[in-house]
A and B are shown apart, each in its own frame.
Chain A
């Protein structure tokens, strides 16, 4: 059972927009930065968003992140078939001093 809660799956058509939610608590999301990762089939996770809403170099601005209270959201616009992947949120739990992840969300681009 993952500490952070994500929907198991989301889907949308090519070109459309999708959001993925990540719910936590005051000891993790509310008091720490949230990161988002994309994991394509058979590959290692890749950092998409850090510090709640910053994109590493090379990540297109179709990907965005936001945080409010104990929840965070990943947004993806202009969906492409190549965006089909599992997406994970992660952060630090300051009460337990441990890293935590969400259960992952499988994105299907119909």
Chain B
């Protein structure tokens, strides 16, 4: 059974760095074809894809946020970490991690419940 769960601070101040962790089970990110993406959704707004890391450590980033994002994985812990620097109130959103595989790619077949991050002083 595949599950993903996001964790991190609920509140960050402007200019701070956000670190989010996606802890998953039911699959291994070292298995060929596996990938994990981060996606966010501001309140009342649309989904926005942020970043992706693949089983072979390939990494992809949103063009508009590339300079602020870093994605990494720890396969031994079944975790994917996303850091976003220089947080701003417009970054207030629910942040989701989601799994992709070669079967459903570029889709996402399992999603975490999401974690709401508010950026405010």
Report which A residues bind B (CB closer than 8 A): 2, 32-33, 35, 37, 44-47, 50-51, 56, 88, 90-92, 96-104
From B37, B104, B110, contact of A99 by CB (8 A)? B37
Determine whether the beta carbon of A90 is less than 8 Å from that of B106. yes
- Residues from chain A with a CB closer than 8 A to the CB of B111 are 44-46
Residues B92-110 near A (CB distance < 8 A): 96, 98, 103-110
Q: How many A-B residue pairs have CB under 8 A?
A: 68
- CB-CB under 8 A from A47, the residues of chain B are 104, 107-110
The 15 sampled A-B contact pairs (Cβ below 8 Å) are A35-B108, A45-B98, A45-B108, A46-B111, A47-B104, A56-B104, A56-B109, A90-B49, A90-B108, A91-B106, A98-B60, A98-B62, A98-B63, A101-B47, A104-B46
User: In the complex, A57→B96 CA distance in Å?
Assistant: 22
Taking a contact as CB atoms closer than 8 A, the residue among A46, A91, A97, A104 that contacts B47 in the complex is A104
With A44-B111, A44-B112, A46-B111 already in contact, the answer to whether A35 and B49 are too (CB < 8 A) is no
Residues of B in contact with A, size category: 20 to 34
Q: Mark B28-56, 1 if CB is under 8 A from A, else 0.
A: 00000000010100000011110010000
Q: Point out residues on B near A: beta carbons under 8 Å.
A: 37, 39, 46-49, 52, 60-63, 96, 98, 103-114
Which residues of chain B are within 8 angstroms of A45 by Cβ–Cβ distance?
A: 47, 96, 98, 108, 111
A100, chain B: closest CB distance, angstroms: 6
Docked Cα-Cα span, A45 to B49, in Å, equals 13
Which of chain A's residues has its CB closest to B37's CB? A99
Measured CA separation A96–B103 after assembly (Å): 22
The answer to whether A100 touches B49 (Cβ under 8 A) is yes
B49 touching A50 by the CB < 8 A rule?
A: no
